[in-house]
Chain A
């Protein structure tokens, strides 16, 4: 993975010093809270419902073991012994004292981490595919390009006071695990001239109260032009994005208002000028330098089949279940990708205790080249595990209650913090997730249902990605009572779609029954081999509406 050099180290250290000064100026009354707010936000400090929240950046979700250990130590020392992994592949601490935050930032800097631009109207942490470098069929490792974008976007002088927050996602192949079509800018690495990496650039995707699928405006942009192209998009947005209405300020609204064709024309006009000027320069040697950090780890030469794995699976059904759901194909023979679910039934999606973080870090050191990834679906990935080691890994996970075998099943939800933490929320999300998970706790039943992505948001801002859930649940407030609206058929992958709202919302008491009715309807009408999302694509919402509202 990427390692800081003297320049990166120095800039992060200087940022901590700068923030310390900003905190001092605020405490001395030299600046108002209104003026301080964007400064603290750009250092990851939010004011939540009950306390400050600190959001720490995990660039493109990649962590070393020592970084994960440090995240655990911070949870112990400054928080209540746990952290929350987010859909931006970051980690949030819900209970730090403001006065401790500069010290936390110092601790983070000691392991090449920071909270820079994890909030505020600037370019946020870049997200990517959690299977980067491990998935077969990748055109190029998206982490290389994510790291380049991370550096370019850090303290960007022109784009730090944008109309609204701005999110990038990068994937390295046409199978999209990074939801690139639901980002302000989504990038897919494709083959360009002479098979060199080039970039398909999607603009104007997003969720929130106005969900939209991004439009492809730059096709196969070559690497030499990547930064100039991105600068051009950013400049068009910075000058023309709406600033009069918070809810209409994202780039998706601009793209929608102009139309994708006109947006493309404006970007390309700008691009001609930016290129002419030639000041935006990404040297070849720099691409090569960053690429070297993402060179494949020292794999052993192994047969693809592992008899140790096969035997362990035959002997132990629980392990076999875990392998079936949580282990994915690796591009190298004899290796596998292991997913650690942070969605135990009864738990809080994305939460991990300090002890669990230490365990994951140790297991990564032992079995996966000392590297972990946070996924946007709020789980953890060990990307390069020998098949021979999977059983030992699983045993280690089981001991720490990390062996939940439910990846992409009906109990593996994306869940926003909701009204339990968030000042913006209208309704609780966490208890709804827990109720649904408990209802479908039976593992054989989960397997029978198959892949089904449930995503839950506690308000219209859609942090829980409900628009792209196969089943999406949105919490709303009606005269002081929490209600939950269901949508079906959303998808964040390469077949991007926005879910259709079914009908009237349900109360907390009704929601698990409603989900069950939807699932039973699917089971009754599915054809051989059809996942929920396939069935939905075939039949649409009517059969679900009929059964769901038959008794209402």
Chain B
């Protein structure tokens, strides 16, 4: 599955490891929150980057204390209508100050990309055949925003007053 990171196609070095799969050595792995909690010490002991995948229903609070040990948090969208992940990304960035990769995985629509970027996602698993132009176009559909999020964009409310 192609990966878009920071607006460009990027190589994906991460391996998503199932709960019963053996851990590869020296490879960046993404594990479930459950596996992270169960095998925390062993995972930290590895000499490779670590990521955790949050399912809908697993709020970032679950891993908040360990975020400085993680380089990536993947947020799964089981269905595009399930918007919990938007809040998870906002919390990861705004409350917990997580500055690693926040990756949207699962069912994500083109029309959600720009909203997700505003919430703090910087990486997307996208469908085969996705064109980077479409991604850029989707991000450029709106010139301005009304809400302040962690993305630092000046809001209309700021711009109106010399912002």
A: residues with CB less than 8 A from B are 5, 7-8, 10-11, 14-15, 17-18, 22, 25, 31, 35, 38-39, 121, 151-152, 154-163, 235, 238-239, 243, 273-274, 277, 279-283, 285-286, 289
Contact with A along B72-116 (1 / 0, CB 8 A): 000000001111101110110011000000000000011110111
Residues of the A chain whose Cβ atoms lie less than 8 Å from the Cβ of B146: 11, 151-152, 154-156
B71 at interface, CB cutoff 8 A: no
Binds A, one of B2-10, B20-28, B137-145: B137-145
CA distance A274 to B80 in the complex (A): 26
CA distance A35 to B109 in the complex (A): 8
User: Could you tell me the distance in whole angstroms from the C-beta of B91 to the nearest C-beta in chain A?
Assistant: 8
Binds A, one of B11-19, B29-37, B38-46, B151-159: B151-159
Contact status A283-B158, CB under 8 Å? yes
B150 at interface, CB cutoff 8 A: yes
Residues of the B chain whose Cβ atoms lie less than 8 Å from the Cβ of A8: 156
Residues of the A chain whose Cβ atoms lie less than 8 Å from the Cβ of B145: 155, 157
**Can you list 30 A-B pairs, Cβ within 8 angstroms, ordered by A?**
A7-B156, A7-B159, A7-B160, A10-B143, A10-B144, A11-B146, A31-B110, A38-B81, A121-B83, A154-B146, A157-B118, A157-B145, A157-B147, A157-B149, A158-B83, A158-B90, A158-B115, A158-B118, A158-B119, A160-B86, A161-B82, A235-B87, A238-B86, A279-B149, A281-B155, A281-B157, A283-B157, A283-B158, A285-B161, A286-B160
Residues of the A chain whose Cβ atoms lie less than 8 Å from the Cβ of B161: 283, 285-286, 289
If A22-B111, A157-B149 touch, whether A151 touches B118 (CB-CB below 8 Å) is no
User: Could you tell me the distance in whole angstroms from the C-beta of A258 to the nearest C-beta in chain B?
Assistant: 15
Could you say which of B80, B87, B95, B159 contacts A238, with CB atoms under 8 Å apart? B87
B148 at interface, CB cutoff 8 A: yes
Residues of the A chain whose Cβ atoms lie less than 8 Å from the Cβ of B63: none
If A279-B149, A289-B160 touch, whether A157 touches B115 (CB-CB below 8 Å) is yes
B70 at interface, CB cutoff 8 A: no
Residues of the A chain whose Cβ atoms lie less than 8 Å from the Cβ of B91: 235
Residues of the B chain whose Cβ atoms lie less than 8 Å from the Cβ of A235: 87, 90-91
Closest A residue to B146 using CB positions:
A151
Contact status B86-A14, CB under 8 Å? no
Residues of the B chain whose Cβ atoms lie less than 8 Å from the Cβ of A22: 111
User: Could you tell me the distance in whole angstroms from the C-beta of B140 to the nearest C-beta in chain A?
Assistant: 9
Residues of the A chain whose Cβ atoms lie less than 8 Å from the Cβ of B156: 7-8, 11, 151
Closest B residue to A148 using CB positions:
B157
CA distance A157 to B141 in the complex (A): 14
> How many chain B residues touch A (Cβ–Cβ < 8 Å)?
40
User: Could you tell me the distance in whole angstroms from the C-beta of B110 to the nearest C-beta in chain A?
Assistant: 8
Closest B residue to A10 using CB positions:
B143
Which B residues, 49 to 63, have Cβ-Cβ distances below 8 Å to chain A? 56, 59
CA distance A286 to B162 in the complex (A): 11
Residues of the B chain whose Cβ atoms lie less than 8 Å from the Cβ of A274: 94
Contact status A14-B87, CB under 8 Å? no
Residues of the A chain whose Cβ atoms lie less than 8 Å from the Cβ of B112: 161
CA distance A25 to B143 in the complex (A): 22
Residues of the A chain whose Cβ atoms lie less than 8 Å from the Cβ of B142: 11, 14-15, 18, 155
Sort A-B residue pairs by CB-CB distance and give the 6 closest, nearest first.
Answer: A161-B83, A157-B118, A157-B115, A7-B156, A285-B161, A279-B148
The CB with the most chain B CB atoms within 10 A, among A7, A162, A286, is that of A7
User: Beyond A11-B144, A279-B150, A283-B157: 14 further Cβ-contacts under 8 Å?
Assistant: A7-B156, A10-B143, A18-B111, A35-B80, A152-B147, A155-B145, A157-B116, A157-B145, A157-B149, A161-B82, A163-B83, A235-B87, A239-B84, A279-B149
CA distance A5 to B147 in the complex (A): 17
The CB with the most chain B CB atoms within 10 A, among A162, A277, A282, is that of A277
Contact status B111-A39, CB under 8 Å? yes
Residues of the B chain whose Cβ atoms lie less than 8 Å from the Cβ of A279: 94, 148-150
Closest A residue to B78 using CB positions:
A243
CA distance A283 to B156 in the complex (A): 11
CA distance A14 to B156 in the complex (A): 15
Residues of the B chain whose Cβ atoms lie less than 8 Å from the Cβ of A11: 142-144, 146, 156
The CB with the most chain B CB atoms within 10 A, among A5, A10, A31, A243, is that of A243
CA distance A25 to B111 in the complex (A): 11
CA distance A277 to B94 in the complex (A): 7
Residues of the A chain whose Cβ atoms lie less than 8 Å from the Cβ of B150: 277, 279
Closest B residue to A243 using CB positions:
B82
Closest B residue to A281 using CB positions:
B148
User: Could you tell me the distance in whole angstroms from the C-beta of A493 to the nearest C-beta in chain B?
Assistant: 32
CA distance A163 to B82 in the complex (A): 7
CA distance A412 to B88 in the complex (A): 47
CA distance A10 to B143 in the complex (A): 8
Residues of the A chain whose Cβ atoms lie less than 8 Å from the Cβ of B109: 31, 35
User: Could you tell me the distance in whole angstroms from the C-beta of A51 to the nearest C-beta in chain B?
Assistant: 25
User: Could you tell me the distance in whole angstroms from the C-beta of B69 to the nearest C-beta in chain A?
Assistant: 22
CA distance A155 to B22 in the complex (A): 43
Contact status B157-A282, CB under 8 Å? yes
User: Could you tell me the distance in whole angstroms from the C-beta of B7 to the nearest C-beta in chain A?
Assistant: 17
